[in-house]
Structure 1
Amino acid sequence: MEQRMRHTVSAGVVTALVGFLGASVVVLTGLRGVGASTGQAASGLLALTVTQSLGTIWLSRRHRIPVVLAWSTPGAALLASTGAVHGGWPAAVGAFLIVGGLILLTAAWPRLGDLIAAIPTPIAQAMLAGVLLELCLAPVHGLATQPALVAPVVVAWLLLLRFAPRWAVPGAFVVTVAAIGIWLGLHGGLSGPLLPRAELTAPAWTWASVLSLAVPLFVVTMASQNVPGVAVLSSYGYTAPWREAMTVTGLGTLAGAGAGGHAINLAAITAAMAASPDAHPDPRRRWLVAQATGCTGLVLAAGSTVLVTVVAAAPAGVTSAFAGLALLATLASSLTGALAEPADRIPAVVTFVVAGSGVTILSVGAAFWALAAGLAVRSVLSGPLPAGLLGQPSRAPRLPLPTSRAEATPTQDDPPRSAR
């Protein structure tokens, strides 16, 4: 019994470490990209780590299933690609609050899920792929500008991807920190704050922040995190408490937004680690792995400021190169989803190109215009054709989010269709 408990705790610790080490630099890159100072980015990472850990502990204990929450990694990549918006960091915080409100509204008003479900999957995935493109190019630029620091990271990532795929990104993170540590040792050492501290920011709201950040961030979080998270739990025989999960993640996002946290949501990769037989042979006891994951996350939160100080002191291009490596798998998955439907390939490519361009029009970023362009092209191409002319194009599947209350089974926690 004692040995099994040690295995459960170690599985939870590993799950938390993989999630934190694999994406924390992406989060910092995103927060700095939308205007956060070093202190504000450290505060945001602290808020995200604490809120997702507390949410994990609450949901897994209440429902006795391995529900794991995480920050929105694709959302952080979106922030990095969008850059500073009109209104600066306060406007970004205002956008985070809107996202939290929309997630909470999704739990209370299923019709909002219908609106998100109206976005075809190829369009949503193409937008995410375009958003990720610039970050995923960073390793190439890093190899050109900082080869001595970036090359060991790439080699470690590639070798681990071959022999221990689960540890490829965390291992690359460790090599990145080691390379930065060696560089700092040769250039005066580390200086900066080390103790965690929340730094609150008064929010501001502008149309640019709503359209450039809030709307795309909500769409990406729902489509690329919450829906896959439900599907992962379902694949291991668990039914996600959809409405309560949306309530908890919505409240958690609202609570952390003022401190700089952009969004928390259901985990996918780390959820699979906690819900699989490797975590615990008894499915009824795997919720204890999620408990250990949440508790470990609270411990990791204490070191968030140290990480930010190290990242801030690193030479330009090193941490962004690691962030690009960490997102390559997500880019591959997004491109696959974007091009899966032949009838929607042209709209998806248009969406991808616009999102990848990074253009800003009327102070509104590329992610919003990518969605608008993709939907507009799809609308034109899927309109009624003259009889006998090429036939009617097929309809692409839509995001498998919750149906409206009238169409859904009248249960309190109704998961998305894809999870049934």
Structure 2
Amino acid sequence: MPETSDRGLAAPVTAGVVAAVVGFSSSFVVVLAGLVAVGATAAQAASGLVALCVMQALGMAWLSLRHRVPLALAWSTPGAALMVSTGAVTGGWPAAVGAFLVAGALIVLTGLVPRLGDLVASIPVPLARAMLAGVLLPLCVEPVVALADSPAEVAPVVLTWLVLLRLAPRWAVPASLAVALLVVVVAAGDQVATGDLAPSLTLTTPHWTASALLGLALPLYVVTMASQNVPGVAVMAGLGWRVPWREAMSVTGLATIAASPFGGHAVNLAAITAAMTGGPDAGPDRERRWIAPVTAAVSYLVIAAGCGVLTALVAAAPEGVVQSAAGLALLGVLAASLREALAEDEDRVPAVACLVVAASGVTVLGVGAAFWALVTGLVVRAVLRTGVSDAPTPPAHRSPGRPARRGGRRAA
């Protein structure tokens, strides 16, 4: 019996460790780039990374232990990409922190007020995906530019990604990032900062400006909901699990609020790693799969201890090396976003208009391109549909909040 029990624990524990390693390594450079882009120093960016690791670990441990459901959490990678494209906001880093806090408050309200979830779900899916694709496009171009400018440093990163994409797709991004960091160590040598590399939290008093709220907080909320929370519920439903919507939104929103003064931008439901912790990879015994996200939570706390070292390496990287790894990591998300953005004939032109504006990176009246992209897409869509009655909203577009609030272990 003990031997059988050990075997039963091995699968979810292994799945949890793998999910944490893959989830962190595949996107932490995007998070650091996003935090720096909106005004964080290296120390503040490292603090944000630590805060996100800790808060998502605590959140997923609470939800999984409480409901015995394999609920995995993550940071908002699309939100980080959005910050890269948005750049500095009026009011600087304190205003960005204020925007993070407001985004977290909106996520909490989404769980408490079903109509807010319905409002988010009413945003046409093609436009939400087109906005995300436009935000990601400049980042995904980075490997091409860097390869042309610095082939010796960037080629090993791209080749590693390409080979493992064929042989072991799950490890293609982590391995390419590991090669990128190796290139950094070789190229930078003694230039890597060797001061206090222990993880630390840097507190920033939030400040609020209208342009930061419109240009960062609102798009960050929309992107996180449309690209992380709603797909996260769909992934779990596909695996036979029902997400306790109200509590999940409350926990992730409060985790975002708690992380924001220390530089964390958004905590949300996981989508990709949710399949690792809630699916067959976590073992054949469904009753034990909740162990996987709990193990991932412990792993994230361990990983948090190394955030200072990783931030120092990224800061010392030659131009283009880490950006290339980040761009490669986002190609899959870009492909999925483009597929959904252009799937419907009637929304194709509004989606393309939305994508182009988002990719432009323009700032108008102090508000970033993501906000104007969504406005443009909605205006073009309204003009093209004037006098044409819309078909009923498909079930997939409805808020996941209403049917999921009851909680429960398995989907009906």
What's the TM-score, normalizing by structure 1? 0.93
Superposed displacement of residue 278, structure 1: 2.1
Structure 2 CA distance, aligned partners of 1:266 and 1:410? Answer: 14
Give a deviation string over 1:248-304, Cα, whole Å, max 9, x none: 001000000000000000001101001111211101100011111111011001111
What letter matches 1:114 in structure 2?
A: D
CA offsets 1:6-49 (integer angstroms, 9 cap, x no match) = 33322211110000101101100110111100000000000000
Does the alignment pair 1:270 with 2:267?
Answer: no
Aligned residues: 407
- Name the amino acid aligned to 2:143: P
Alignment of 1:243-262 (within 5 A): 243-262=246-265
Which residue in 2 is equivalent to 1:38?
A: 42
User: Quick check: 2:246–2:405 contact (8 Å CA) kept in 1?
Assistant: no
Q: Does the residue aligned with 2:343 lie in a helix, a strand or coil?
A: coil
Distance 1:130 1:239 in 2: 32
The one of 57, 60, 68 equivalent to 2:61 is 57
- CA distance change for structure 1 residues 207 and 178 in 2, over 3 Å: closer, same or farther? same
User: Within 5 A, what are the aligned runs for 1:148-163?
Assistant: 148-163=152-167
Query: Which of structure 1's runs of 4+ aligned residues deviate more than 6 A?
Result: none
Match of 1:382 among 374, 380, 385: 385
Which of 204, 209, 212 matches 1:209?
Answer: 212
- Of the structure 1 ranges 259-268 and 4-13, higher mean CA displacement relative to structure 2 is found in 4-13
| TM-superposition CA deviations, 1:374-398 (whole Å, max 9, x none) | 000100110106xxxxxx6767758
Deviation readout 1:38-87 (Å, 9 max, x if unpaired): 00000000000000011111111111111000000000000001000111
Distance 1:163 1:274 in 2: 22
Alignment of 1:159-238 (within 5 A): 159-185=163-189, 188-238=191-241
**Residues 120, 399 of structure 2: 8 Å contact kept:** no
2-side partners of 1:272 and 1:347: how far apart?
32
TM-score normalised by the chain length of structure 2: 0.95
Q: How much does 1:341 deviate?
A: 0.5
Residues 85 and 208 in structure 1, CA contact (< 8 A), matched pair in contact too: yes
| Distance of 2:196 and 2:30 partners within structure 1 | 20
Deviations 1:341-369 (CA, angstroms, capped at 9, x unpaired)? 00000100100010011111111110000
Unmatched 5+ stretches in structure 2:
none
* Corresponding residue to 2:370 among 367, 370, 373: 367
Check conservation: 1:71, 1:265, Cα contact below 8 A: yes
Instruction: List gaps (5 residues or longer) in structure 1.
Output: 386-391
Aligned to 1:339: 342
CA distance in 2, matches of 1:412, 1:271: 20
SS at match of 2:262: coil
What secondary structure, in the 3-state scheme, does the structure 1 residue paired with 2:26 have? helix
**CA distance 1:268–1:278, shift in 2 (3 Å):** same
Shift of residue 200 of structure 1?
0.7
Distance 1:17 1:409, change over 3 A: closer
Do structure 1's residue 311 and structure 2's residue 314 form an aligned pair? Answer: yes
Q: What is the CA RMSD across the aligned residues, in angstroms?
A: 1.9
CA distance in 2, matches of 1:382, 1:395: 14
The AA in structure 1 aligned to 2:397 is: P
Partner residue, 2:129 = 125
Map 1:9-20 → 2, pairs under 5 A: 9-20=13-24
Task: Tell me by how many angstroms 1:400 deviates.
Answer: 3.0
Task: Please tell me whether the aligned partners of residues 117 and 401 of structure 1 are also in contact (alpha carbons under 8 angstroms).
Answer: yes
CA distance in 2, matches of 1:228, 1:383: 30
What CA distance in whole angstroms lies between the structure 2 residues aligned with 1:37 and 1:224? Answer: 27
Higher helix share: 2
- Counterpart of 1:388? none
